[in-house]
Amino acid sequence: MKIEKRGKYAGVKVHLEPDEAEVYMKFASDMEKSGHKIQGGISYLSLSAKLGKKISALMVEEPGLLKARTPDEIKVELENEFESAKLKLAAIKQGGDWKEVHVK
């Protein structure tokens, strides 16, 4: 697990290892299967279940999410991040909202 500051937003970024992500997904699945409903504010149970559900949803969109990246995949990702940063900086310089810039 890696925890770091978020550059553009308040809060922290949490980078989970595949086995850690799988624990959260299993917890969310187990909670759903048991029919347990968590009421009230944020608790470690509700937060863990929410995190597991969000990871599971992302796994549907990105099936290889928990697999190690190849050097070529890393290169493509870094190039995409670089292009995204350039477009967001351009939007800021033009007085626009960088949050509205979406690069796929």
Greatest extent of the chain over all pairs of C-alpha atoms, in Å? 52
For residue range 2-44, list pLDDT tens digits in order.
999 888 888 899 999 999 999 999 999 998 898 877 776 788 8
pTM, full prediction: 0.74
For residue range 71-104, list pLDDT tens digits in order.
999 999 999 999 999 999 999 999 998 888 887 7
* Residue-level pLDDT at 14: 94
CA atoms of 101 and 88, how far apart (whole Å):
6
Which residue ranges make up each domain of the chain?
1-67, 69-104
